[in-house]
Structure 1
Amino acid sequence: MTYLDYSESTLRETDAYWTAKEIQQQPETWAKTLQMLEENKPQIDAFLQPILAKKDIRIILTGAGTSAFVGASIAPAIMKQLGVRVEAIPTTDLVSNPHEYFQADVPTLMVSFARSGNSPESVAAFECAEKLLNDCAQLAITCNDQGALFKCCEGDNKLALLMPEETNDRSFAMTSSFSCMLLTALYVFCPSDNFGQDLALSINATSALLKTYNLMLKSVAMKKFTRVVYLGSGVSKGLAQESALKLLELTDGQALSSYDSPLGFRHGPKAVVNSDTLVVIYISNDPYTRQYDLELLAELQKDQEVGQILSVTAKDDPVFKQGECIMLDGVANVNDTFLLFPFIVCAQMYALQHSLAIGNTPDNPSSSGTINRVVQGVNIHAL
């Protein structure tokens, strides 16, 4: 069996087996996740409908690290869909500063994302919400039915949605867990008549990406850029944040990565650009937003300061240069939320290839052992 064009023996020798397998398995896990969600739709609707009907309902999307970036990615889409107050606030902020973020008299639905559900902040944020909010509902989206967070969601005004077992990633970095939790949030809060069709297009585009562009991404990774910037507008900005973290994690910090929006990048962060910088731009399908993405791309090309630019897009344009563009198949007409899936797989593939190019071990990337799959050493203090 091969994953991302590497044999299983090679992947085990380089300590990259689980990361590669869990990246490649995602199109299948998305289809499986959708099936599970459709089977549980009556329960989901019965839980959510009375909550979302409340006047002035506030939705907090939370998690730690990669799990927090699920919320950061999907928050703009949920706010647009529901027309209510939606905020992505990491558990690491809620736990350290609960009185600044929780508003006692505001009805609140807290949506917690967690791979294992065993991070200290996951349960602590849950408990803070229960103590400080007068009207609180809790929805957990997690990959582990043995996790502490999953077990907390019993009783009134609580619901836990479990992802397929294989998404409880065994590798250090969250890959399929991230994308399946993202898919679940999109299904729950942004339903549409074409949801299944659009997801099928996204699945097909990602499957083609995995087959067509892996060698290209490997070639870019072999240049061993020490600075990598991910840029995205709207929902893609949160995804850019997750993309940057993925590379930082898998290279053990040897590739310094950052993120921004194309417009925001001009206001100072562009100073990072030099001949040893790779800039990855997620290009929006929205005609209005796309203008800003393409203008920044053209500006970087004109400056001739950057080491390499890599655009990821579903629509062609004269500004794209050969060898600097990943063209996604069949998703030119989908909403940007459905581009998030091939976008993140592209970032995961690159992070794996860069990690291998510098001789790191993706499944266990922390050479010092001080960074762990589930964070350790956090003391939770009483309110």
Structure 2
Amino acid sequence: MQAVQDAVNGGSEIFGQDVSRLDALGGGVTAREIAQQPQVWPQIDALVAGQRGQVDAFLAPLLARPELRIVMAGAGTSAFIGECLAPGLLRQGRRVEAVPTTDLVSGPDRYFQRAVPTLVVSFARSGSSPESVAAVALADQLVDEVHHLVITCNEEGQLYRMTQDRANALAILLPDATHDRGFAMTTSFTSMLLAAALAFRVLTPGVAARLAPAAGQVGARALPLLTQLVDGAFRRVVYLGSNELRGLAREAALKLLELTDGQVVAIHDSPLGFRHGPKTIVDDQTLVVVLLSNDPQARRYDLDLLRELRGDRRAGRVLALGARQDDALGDAFGEDAFVFSGADDAQDLELALPYIVFCQSFAYLRSLSLGVRPDTPSMSGTVNRVVRGVTIYPFDREVSDVPRS
């Protein structure tokens, strides 16, 4: 990926194309933001390490309480960060749920419990989405003891400003490079995911340096495969992943929908869940991407479905993304698998970062192939970078209506 990184530093090419041409096509910003991620991640690692004392002073007393409930919240892509993180926190013995702010706002009495000490973890690129701001206010209104951890990319956002000078709140502000200017969340997604995983010690310091080379392989080595996939002109794409990678599959599907302005239908599921009805979507215009787990238990199920899909011969193409060579994959450099080298011992949450760079890159290149401008893909103008048109209504039910446990 050296050519890509050179472009970020002022060079001439990204994805094998001249940056000035990508700018003219309306995609230069998003291309740079996808390409810069391996360089940004070590900055996130260093930032969390530098704030370790402050983070621990806030989190450690809360996490020591077995009754603490953690609600991981965000809207759209930001909500999927919590879905990726929750399995790792559950393995730590935490009580954690990923609940989109869009659900918290529409049914706060379904999700907040008044008498249960709660830590709300809010993920936000801009920090100004109406639902994200309202979710914090509703938590304050409906929970007797609530604490807030905000992980955001924007110092000017309302969420960041709301946390200042509050004893029950802490904000982790990420570098300005993470505040994507393009429509799609790319660097912001991976950076907030990494920051939270480090803050909660789901991942260990130094992980970014291990992951950056893997993500870097989505340059020269993956580019021929990405070009083949784009040339396939698939009208439907399915992303499948287990556990931590299920949330990632959801984000991959959203990226493709967003960047192609909905011209490519994209869905997600788990490999086991896919058989229970959603598999009917598969036809010869469908690309299926299986995000292979490194976890031995989950991997068995992933490989079973991979074999089944290939045996069915219904899909236009079935691609495996993995980090371990396996007889079921065939040649690691063959047309039906891409194996990230040097990541065979990575946790699935670690694999999420290079995997999503591959998926973002495919979505970006497919967008260009359709004549869409990736930096502003909504041709109708009805979908916006920061959501508009949301009216926030007060929740004025009697407090006795809010569950206590």
- Give me the whole-angstrom Cα distance separating, in 1, the residues matched to 2:189 and 2:42: 15
Task: Give the aligned partner of residue 234 of structure 1.
Answer: 243
Task: Give the aligned partner of residue 391 of structure 2.
Answer: 379
In the alignment, is the contact (CA less than 8 A) between 2:246 and 2:269 conserved in 1? yes
In the alignment, is the contact (CA less than 8 A) between 1:224 and 1:358 conserved in 2? no
Task: Give the aligned partner of residue 117 of structure 1.
Answer: 127
Of 55, 58, 63, 1:47 maps to 58
Q: Does 1:259 align with 2:268?
A: yes
Segment of structure 1 superposing worse, 167-176 or 71-80: 71-80
- Give me the whole-angstrom Cα distance separating, in 2, the residues matched to 1:251 and 1:109: 36
Q: What is the CA distance between 1:201 and its match in structure 2?
A: 1.9
Cα displacement string for residues 262-299 of structure 1 (whole angstroms, at most 9, x for unaligned residues): 00000000000000000000000111111000000000
Amino acid at match of 1:7: D
Segment of structure 1 superposing worse, 201-210 or 134-143: 201-210
Amino acid at match of 1:302: G
- Give me the whole-angstrom Cα distance separating, in 2, the residues matched to 1:61 and 1:191: 14
In the alignment, is the contact (CA less than 8 A) between 1:23 and 1:349 conserved in 2? yes
- Give me the whole-angstrom Cα distance separating, in 1, the residues matched to 2:117 and 2:183: 36
Task: Give the aligned partner of residue 196 of structure 2.
Answer: 185
SS of residue matched to 1:281: strand
Q: Does 1:138 align with 2:138?
A: no
SS of residue matched to 2:33: helix
In the alignment, is the contact (CA less than 8 A) between 1:276 and 1:306 conserved in 2? yes
Q: Does 1:320 align with 2:312?
A: no
Q: What is the CA distance between 1:7 and its match in structure 2?
A: 1.1
- Give me the whole-angstrom Cα distance separating, in 1, the residues matched to 2:218 and 2:20: 23
Please provide the CA RMSD for this pair: 1.0
Task: Give the aligned partner of residue 215 of structure 2.
Answer: 206
- Give me the whole-angstrom Cα distance separating, in 2, the residues matched to 1:50 and 1:275: 54
- Give me the whole-angstrom Cα distance separating, in 1, the residues matched to 2:119 and 2:16: 43
- Give me the whole-angstrom Cα distance separating, in 2, the residues matched to 1:100 and 1:323: 47
Name the TM-score, length of structure 1 as normaliser: 0.98
1:346-365 matches, within 5 Å, as: 346-365=358-377
Q: What is the CA distance between 1:197 and its match in structure 2?
A: 4.2
Task: Give the aligned partner of residue 101 of structure 1.
Answer: 111
In the alignment, is the contact (CA less than 8 A) between 1:198 and 1:334 conserved in 2? no
SS of residue matched to 1:211: coil
1:325-336 matches, within 5 Å, as: 325-336=337-348
In the alignment, is the contact (CA less than 8 A) between 2:89 and 2:202 conserved in 1? no
Gaps of 5+ in 2: 1-11, 396-405
SS of residue matched to 1:117: coil
- Give me the whole-angstrom Cα distance separating, in 1, the residues matched to 2:61 and 2:201: 17
1:66-105 matches, within 5 Å, as: 66-81=77-92, 83-105=93-115
- Give me the whole-angstrom Cα distance separating, in 1, the residues matched to 2:116 and 2:349: 28
Segment of structure 1 superposing worse, 264-273 or 314-323: 314-323
- Give me the whole-angstrom Cα distance separating, in 2, the residues matched to 1:185 and 1:23: 20
Amino acid at match of 2:156: Q
Cα displacement string for residues 34-83 of structure 1 (whole angstroms, at most 9, x for unaligned residues): 111111110000000111122310000000000001111111111112x0
Q: What is the CA distance between 1:164 and its match in structure 2?
A: 1.1
- Give me the whole-angstrom Cα distance separating, in 2, the residues matched to 1:232 and 1:370: 30
In the alignment, is the contact (CA less than 8 A) between 2:118 and 2:147 conserved in 1? yes
In the alignment, is the contact (CA less than 8 A) between 2:249 and 2:269 conserved in 1? yes
Segment of structure 1 superposing worse, 51-60 or 22-31: 51-60
- Give me the whole-angstrom Cα distance separating, in 2, the residues matched to 1:164 and 1:174: 15
SS of residue matched to 2:217: helix
- Give me the whole-angstrom Cα distance separating, in 1, the residues matched to 2:250 and 2:45: 25
SS of residue matched to 2:219: helix
Name the TM-score, length of structure 2 as normaliser: 0.92
In the alignment, is the contact (CA less than 8 A) between 1:114 and 1:141 conserved in 2? yes
In the alignment, is the contact (CA less than 8 A) between 2:198 and 2:205 conserved in 1? no
- Give me the whole-angstrom Cα distance separating, in 1, the residues matched to 2:35 and 2:372: 20
In the alignment, is the contact (CA less than 8 A) between 1:62 and 1:89 conserved in 2? yes
SS of residue matched to 1:68: helix
Gaps of 5+ in 1: none
Identity of aligned residues (%): 47
Q: Does 1:26 align with 2:41?
A: no
- Give me the whole-angstrom Cα distance separating, in 2, the residues matched to 1:46 and 1:354: 45
Q: Does 1:168 align with 2:183?
A: no
Amino acid at match of 2:163: C
How many residue pairs end up in the alignment?
380
- Give me the whole-angstrom Cα distance separating, in 1, the residues matched to 2:94 and 2:202: 15
- Give me the whole-angstrom Cα distance separating, in 2, the residues matched to 1:196 and 1:74: 16
Task: Give the aligned partner of residue 224 of structure 1.
Answer: 233
In the alignment, is the contact (CA less than 8 A) between 2:88 and 2:202 conserved in 1? no
- Give me the whole-angstrom Cα distance separating, in 2, the residues matched to 1:210 and 1:163: 25
Of 278, 285, 288, 2:287 maps to 278
Cα displacement string for residues 82-132 of structure 1 (whole angstroms, at most 9, x for unaligned residues): x02110000000001001110000000000000000100111000000000
